[in-house]
Structure 1
Amino acid sequence: MERDIFLNLSPLDHRYYASNEPLFNQLAEYFSENAYIRYELKVEAALVRVLAKRGLCSQAIAAEVSQACNEVEPEEVYLEEEKTKHNIRALVNCIQHRVSEAARPYVHFTTTSVDIMDSATALRFKEATEKVVLPKMLELEALLIAIARREKGTLQVGRTHGQHAVPITFGFAMAEYVSRLGSRIECVKQTADNLRGKISGAVGAYNASSLFFDDPMEFETEVLWELGLQPAIYSNQIVEPEYLTDYIHAILSAFGVLANLADDIRNLQRTEIGEVGEVFEATQVGSSTMPHKRNPWNFEHVKSMWKEFMPRMVTLYADQISEHQRDLTNSASGRFVPEIVVGFVAAVDRLTRVMKKLVVDESRMKRNFEMTKEMVIAEPLYILLASLGHPDAHEAVRKLTLKSQQTGKTLRELLVTQEELFPYWERLTPKQRGVLEHPEQYRGWAERKTEYLCDLWEKRLMI
């Protein structure tokens, strides 16, 4: 009988499962307890296959054990663990109960518990990344590229410190996230590909396997090759923790990019800014008491999820520490690591869905730019004056901006009335004057850099 999901304790397993059942079912194939045990069984099966190839047991025994590994159910492993008080011994017992007496000695032969656990962990994280994490990230990246290209010429005022700066385009603003997410995709792939396993025994020195093999390191490599893994360069009873630490750092670093994007889009939806918006469904409610509200809750949700999972990186760093060949201080904390990846993928999926419905208000962007467009020319004006030899151009323009604010006249109007500055005005080229007369043209290479970044990341990620 299945447990009611609303009796589960983690919000991932009720609130977010209920809201995105297909995604969470997909992730469960890698990150559920059921999946973990099945991956451990894959390692046990790979072990006995290599024992058969090495001539320690027959191919028939290898097939028998492999079949048993396919049949063991996680629930029976847990029932067995109630007796053994040891998870891997319980797993081994469940396999041995299903095989002949001739096959039983070769189950878990020469290995220790963490050979199985760490190799299973590496394999499931690696496969989850290949099958789910990276495809989801690439889908979002492709969407951001499409938005950046579409909006590459859409005028938007640039902002620094929450203040209007010089103009850019909305596509250029989105190109920031094209580039940042692109680099994180590469990092996630690289660190996932580098996740390692071990078949080196109780303290990592191949004590048991060396009794049977002249080349125990090659034996380890062969077992892990069956699983598509490489061995850790060094292992004691555990795999060097830095492989997993680096992978989770890559995930959380990417999560930070999502949170920053979500925060930017959320702020652009403020009433006083109103440059973008999320299309609301016909039945969607923004507030329980204010029917007119359209809160940017999906973007707030992404940032909130990041706030929950980002601090868990500290635990990964703490789990780098293990006394001598191994202690159990990471045995509980390590079981929560999959939640980080699940939370991240759920956020990627949500952000993709909501960005597909993003509406850009070009007229509002233009109106916001118009608010300060006459001050925008302060930067090009100061630089042009300096290029023409003005000894203190920045100070001259700063004073001019103060006078503009006091009189209500534009910088251009004041410029031609200043006896000291008028000679410089006469020396400007038509193109330079054009920028001062039409501040919206002062966009630099925003459009070209947007195209460059989109082309770059499409090529590097083969989108």
Structure 2
Amino acid sequence: MTSPAPQTSPTEPTAAQPARVNLADVTPPVALGPLDGRYRGSVAPLVDHLSEAALNRARIHVEVEWLVTLCNGTSDAPGAVVPGAPTLTDAEIAYLRQIPATFGADEIAELAAIERETVHDVKAVEYFIKRRIAAAPDALGGTNLPAASELVHFACTSEDINNLSYALMVQGGMRDVWLPAAEALTDQLAAMAREHAGVPMLSRTHGQPATPTTIGKELAVLTHRLRRQLRRIEGAEYLGKLNGATGTYGAHTVAVPGADWPAVSKSFVEHLGLVWNPLTTQIESHDWQAEVYADVARFNRILHNLATDVWTYISLGFFTQIPVAGATGSSTMPHKVNPIRFENAEANLEISCSLLDTLSATLVTSRLQRDLTDSTTQRNIGPAFGHSLLAIDNVRRGLKALNVNAALMADDLDANWEVLGEPVQSAMRAASVAGVEGMENPYERLKELTRGQRVDAARMREFVAGLGLPDDVAARLAALTPASYTGVAAQLVEDYLA
């Protein structure tokens, strides 16, 4: 009996398997996820809005603006909110506002070092700002800023700062990155729809040949759907609150009982460019986030529908893809140009929707006055938008590489004359109502002619000629072809796709 071979750890080096480099130790760091690795070029603009560094910069911005408000008051009620607070000069306010404006690599590292000591991210931000205030005399000369140091984070719970920061981040990411990309996509799609508004195409309902349309009208339908969602997204409200540990202004009113704290809070939140939420627990309820993410997810799903439809049109040959010089379609079949842009978009839209659905479902619930599940959840807003942005980029690239194969679509139409059974039986119905004899059972007669069998032009025209229709109706039907049977499809594109 032979002894079993000695067992070794999968990572233990052997003669047959030498020790490997630990990729976790490589410098610069290797990205764990594809958005910060393979696809970073497509999603990098979101880093300025929805990254951890962007969160900390937004926190600094909110803390600084709150300090300025406490010292100098609001637009409605100028003057110190906290009695004895120094009135800040324009130079001092500019100095404070430079703290978030100059937040870069060195500051990110410094803040991270502070957080390793505090083990609290928002407290680290407070100490970071206080360091800058302590250094203000050297930068400004004579200044009263150090006297205001203890007003940093005054009467605030962490969520006062976080909810406002996330609202500003999502608002900025939407306004500056995601919406412009989505609008550019719909504009591109609209231009394609208008260009091909009159190009006839055989429809397929339930996968079967059906009433002809135009390729432009079908693209217009998707454009119209996407733009409707964009209008909803553009009208979104971004809510914020600043009212203390349980939404009662408890610490505020004890420390400074003479201030109208709800009015101060409202003015401050609106100063930041947000909509004030007057009634909350410790957290802003996040309902607005659920609404925005649901709308973006719906946009994603319509775009997914576009990707699958275009993929199908490519498989039918209705669209041809422009080969990219030097690119490989298949590792073994050199003739192929695969629709990878649309397939990549499908996958990323599904991932984005999964994250957005989770955000929408979980953020609206917080146990009693506060639990911390939203803290980790909201850190995935960036990936949710990143996968959507990546999909938009892929669809735009894919659409740019398409040509419409009008000749093949014309051949497809000419091979399906049976689709004219619909207008012929409709004309018979109208003639019957007008008193023309011999128009009985129009649907059944066309069903007998066309169902389950191909009908060519000669057979269809022969059938029409033998119906006894009025001359003008018979002439109209005799001139009709599958390619000309597109109704007002082209006109719909012109009229409703401004």
What is the TM-score when the length of structure 1 is the normalising length?
A: 0.89
Residue equivalent to 1:252: 297
The verdict on how the C-alpha distance between 1:358 and 1:108 changes in structure 2, with shifts beyond 3 A counting, is: same
Residues 335-380 of structure 1, C-alpha deviations (whole Å, 9 max, x = no match): 11221112212221222222122211111111111221x1111100
Residues 178 and 453 in structure 1, CA contact (< 8 A), matched pair in contact too: no
CA distance in 2, matches of 1:13, 1:267: 31
The verdict on how the C-alpha distance between 1:314 and 1:252 changes in structure 2, with shifts beyond 3 A counting, is: closer
Residue equivalent to 1:461: none
Residues 282 and 370 in structure 2, CA contact (< 8 A), matched pair in contact too: yes
SS of equivalent to 2:133: coil
Question: Following TM superposition, by how much is the alpha carbon of 1:398 offset from its aligned partner in structure 2, in angstroms?
Answer: 0.7
Counterparts of residues 234-273 of structure 1 (less than 5 Å): 234-270=279-315, 273=316
Of 127, 151, 156 in structure 2, the residue corresponding to residue 93 of structure 1 is: 127
The verdict on how the C-alpha distance between 1:392 and 1:430 changes in structure 2, with shifts beyond 3 A counting, is: closer
Instruction: Give the aligned residue type for 1:175.
Output: A
Q: How many residues align?
A: 439
The verdict on how the C-alpha distance between 1:166 and 1:264 changes in structure 2, with shifts beyond 3 A counting, is: same
Instruction: Give the aligned residue type for 1:9.
Output: L
CA distance in 2, matches of 1:77, 1:6: 19
Question: Following TM superposition, by how much is the alpha carbon of 1:405 offset from its aligned partner in structure 2, in angstroms?
Answer: 4.4
Residues 216 and 493 in structure 2, CA contact (< 8 A), matched pair in contact too: yes
CA distance in 2, matches of 1:71, 1:427: 81
1:282 aligns with 2:304: no
1:367 aligns with 2:411: yes
Residue equivalent to 2:35: 12
1:46 aligns with 2:69: no
Question: Following TM superposition, by how much is the alpha carbon of 1:411 offset from its aligned partner in structure 2, in angstroms?
Answer: 3.0
Instruction: Give the aligned residue type for 1:86.
Output: H
The verdict on how the C-alpha distance between 1:11 and 1:276 changes in structure 2, with shifts beyond 3 A counting, is: same
SS of equivalent to 1:7: coil
Residues 415 and 456 in structure 2, CA contact (< 8 A), matched pair in contact too: no
Residues 60 and 99 in structure 2, CA contact (< 8 A), matched pair in contact too: no
**Gap regions ≥5 residues in structure 1:** 456-463
Counterparts of residues 129-168 of structure 1 (less than 5 Å): 129-168=174-213
1:187 aligns with 2:244: no
CA distance in 2, matches of 1:8, 1:361: 41
Instruction: Give the aligned residue type for 1:48.
Output: L
The verdict on how the C-alpha distance between 1:402 and 1:267 changes in structure 2, with shifts beyond 3 A counting, is: closer
Question: Following TM superposition, by how much is the alpha carbon of 1:137 offset from its aligned partner in structure 2, in angstroms?
Answer: 1.5
Residue equivalent to 1:27: 46
CA distance in 2, matches of 1:344, 1:352: 12
1:81 aligns with 2:125: no
SS of equivalent to 2:248: coil
- The root-mean-square deviation of aligned C-alpha atoms, in Å, is 2.4
Counterparts of residues 383-398 of structure 1 (less than 5 Å): 383-389=426-432, 390-398=439-447
Of 140, 154, 169 in structure 1, the residue corresponding to residue 214 of structure 2 is: 169
Residues 5 and 14 in structure 1, CA contact (< 8 A), matched pair in contact too: no
CA distance in 1, matches of 2:30, 2:131: 33
Instruction: Give the aligned residue type for 1:168.
Output: T
CA distance in 1, matches of 2:93, 2:123: 19
Residues 201 and 214 in structure 2, CA contact (< 8 A), matched pair in contact too: yes
Residue equivalent to 2:270: 225
Question: Following TM superposition, by how much is the alpha carbon of 1:208 offset from its aligned partner in structure 2, in angstroms?
Answer: 2.2
Residue equivalent to 2:347: 304
Question: Following TM superposition, by how much is the alpha carbon of 1:68 offset from its aligned partner in structure 2, in angstroms?
Answer: 4.7
SS of equivalent to 1:277: strand
Residues 464 and 478 in structure 2, CA contact (< 8 A), matched pair in contact too: no
Question: Following TM superposition, by how much is the alpha carbon of 1:6 offset from its aligned partner in structure 2, in angstroms?
Answer: 6.5
Residues 224 and 231 in structure 1, CA contact (< 8 A), matched pair in contact too: yes
Residues 220-262 of structure 1, C-alpha deviations (whole Å, 9 max, x = no match): 1222233211212422111121101111111111111211111
Instruction: Give the aligned residue type for 1:207.
Output: G
Instruction: Give the aligned residue type for 1:208.
Output: A
- Of residues 79-88 and 377-386 in structure 1, the stretch that sits farther from structure 2 once superposed is 79-88
Q: Greater CA radius of gyration, 1 or 2? A: 2
Residues 384-415 of structure 1, C-alpha deviations (whole Å, 9 max, x = no match): 11122244321221112149549997233234
Residue equivalent to 2:363: 319
Question: Following TM superposition, by how much is the alpha carbon of 1:70 offset from its aligned partner in structure 2, in angstroms?
Answer: 4.9
Instruction: Give the aligned residue type for 1:363.
Output: A
Residues 244 and 282 in structure 2, CA contact (< 8 A), matched pair in contact too: yes
